[in-house]
Chain A
Amino acid sequence: MQKTDKQVPVTVLTGFLGAGKTTLLNRILTEQHGKKYAVIVNEFGEQGIDNDLVVDADEEVFEMNNGCICCTVRGDLIRILSGLMKRADKLDAIIVETTGLADPAPVAQTFFVDQDVADRTKLDAIVTVADAVHLSSQLTDHHEAEEQIAFADVVLLNKIDLVDENGLEVVKQRIKKINPFAKIINTTKCGVPLNEVLNLDAFSLKRVLEVEPDFLTSDHDHEHDDDVTSLSFVSDTPLDMEKFQDWFTKLLQTKGQDILRTKGILDFTGESDRYVFQGVHMLMDASPMGKWPKGKERSSRLVFIGRNLETMNLKEGFENCKSA
């Protein structure tokens, strides 16, 4: 945590081809913001953008030999980020563009797995640019589109001028069903202030504390297919740390491939600190985050975004962790 000052924030920009990623990147590169941003791009060379800080990448996904079955990382990103961190001039932020059909997980996992990357940079947020006109059909046709929404901290819902009010609402509901925790920003031509997409610190554990409790209590309808959905649980009864660790470790080990993202604030019996974690597939960042605020009730909140969540007996598992 003390390293934060030295860590350069990295924003991951996902979204289907044609959604408007390039428009946003062009703005980041050309607007007068007085900041030094490096942009790691794919399939961007033809655009002929003349900027020293545009780096071509190859989106190489590597398996790690660390016993984690779904642990893949972006090898090219490790190489490029390590290189950028050796620069004499310090960067204000780095933006990583992924191709339209990319799974965001290996990018996110890179920040958990590679020590050099974790020491010098930090995953700031995953921003997904979505086309208000085509998102619904893309979600139906491509699981990658679902994953990009599921992983998003911010969804830039672009081209809203091309849909009517009703259509817009339908798309928003669709996004919320997959990921009720992403902030949705309506835009035309990605006309959003850059400070709403960059430097959000969305992956810091502190941010997990801001997860809204009302969101979490509502139950969502589940489709009985491969759709990405979310589930959340709340408990006012303190949890047993040992039981929770047993259950949760085993859950991630066996179902980590289907669980895309997890977040939680936990109240353990006998512990005065709040425990906060967030995870991507099987990888997790967790830490005690100071005492519970005075005058606020202690409670545990747990969020899952993933596939086939209804088959994992999550509710039962969570209930069993409550202290007797």
Chain B
Amino acid sequence: MRERLPIIIFAIVVAAIPLIPGVPPFWIVLLDNIGLAALVAMGLVLLTGVGGLTSFGQAAFCGFGAYTTAVLSTAYGLSPWLTLPLSLLVSGVAAVLLGLITVRLSGHYLPLGTLAWGLGLFYLFSKLEFLGRNDGISAIPPLSIGSFRMLDPGSIYYAIWVAVLISALLTTNLLDSRTGRAIRALRRGHVAAEAFGVQTPRAKLLVFIHAAVLAGLSGWLYAHLQRAVNPTPFGAQAGIEYLFIAVVGGAGYVWGGVLGAAIVVILKEVLQSYLPLLLHGSGQLETIVFGILLIILLQLAPAGVWPWLVARLPLKPVGKRPDTSLALPARARTPSEGGVLLKIDNARKQFGGVIAVNSVSFDVQAREIVALIGPNGAGKSTTFNLITGVLTTTGGSISVLGRKIDNAPPQEVVKLGISRTFQHVKLVPDMTVLENVAIGAHLRGHSGPVSSMLRLDRADEEKLLAEAARQIERVGLADQMHQLAGSLSLGQQRIVEIARALCVDPMLLLLDEPAAGLRHMEKQRLAALLRDLRDGGMSVLLVEHDMGFVMDLADRIVVLDFGTKIAEGTPEAIKTNPAVIKAYLGVAA
């Protein structure tokens, strides 16, 4: 309840403003516009700030919402309340179609793709006959409840702000859930998220639709506020402005979208009404000043005004320690204990002319710790990537419990009970340790986006967080549970990755240089943990350069050099193997 308090106060203030006697009606118009912009910006926050998908095309989705209701309520006489779901549907379907094309675009292509169809749709709105070409559609009926018709800005005000508050709540709920964590992981690249079963294209499409539906809602409200639509507010200029709003407010924060909308709308209004008086100038003085002020604002608060503000408030979120008594069902283990768990048979990987992994064969038994060692560039991490499906093999086969898995996508491999850590830590630095680790349990939860928005996912969610907390305690980072992952030392971040991998409830744990950056005591603790895991029935395959650590820990060692296996055996045998010594020291000792 405590964390809801600021929102309730905000809602009361918003509800009270029109009731204060003497508030100029013009303020209400401004607040209406802020609300409309905030809806779109909120979607952009999710899409761009959180999901990392920059879109210039959001104004076009407003257009879909507005034109749908305009056409249906004028030409076909449908009630505006009936057109609401249809407007949202049209925006959503348009998002699916455009999204299927655009979310596949990577890097800089994506924003440009959105700019392209944003412009294309704008010209389409202004050329199509049944949308009234450049003149648009007028005489749209107002919203009404019974005989109460929302004709003036003051009466539709409540409709707009109820929509803003509900959307903000649903969006924050979504972000604080299993699906939300998957979305928040998108911005940092897809390899880590996919290694834990997140279907990244689907997650991207989801945020795309969410943002489009919010924009469609804004468009629907806009049409009934203005009671006329024309193409101008749905062009590229508007699309860019929404992005402004999101960035100025704080692109990573839902309430940043609302704050940004307030800042930009009010700033523009003030400039438009006072600058000409002040300077007696004609022309676009306000755009000049607006542009300059925006640049100054960005230089002062590059992350946005909202986080800048929050950092200066005495409100500190208190992380609640999850109730670790809740348990998730464990993986059904096959009874064939003691058999071959992972078998790599003549695996090859070729990058152009370079053979990174050259016909390597080895296996990992159940309850065994196998170390994969070799000089830099020996192909160890590539082997990991072949096993986990990040890379596809050029030849040979990889099987788990006798079932071939070669070239299955990472999301399938993790389902088999193989989880991993990365040589270069891949955590989401602006998420807490707990949230990062909970991504590991992604496949063990079931709540989808809709139930997350409506908070029907809490039972599922508590179990996921309980599992994450248990694994964090197990690796000894209980005190850091609620810190941001990016604030930890590199060694601790590696340990967080192990906890995340453990959340999968794996049969086989792949660790890529887990001991790098750890101090002596921490290494000993890590070794003890790994032995513990093995004795509990787990197998571990690790790449490591710290020979002391490897020799003490591993049951068996496989040595690679230039992509080829040059030795395999117990630590004692490897220590004295002449080929290994030659590979490391360059001469036979």
Asked if chains A and B come from one complex, the reply is no
**Residues of chain B whose beta carbon lies under 8 Å from any beta carbon of chain A:** none
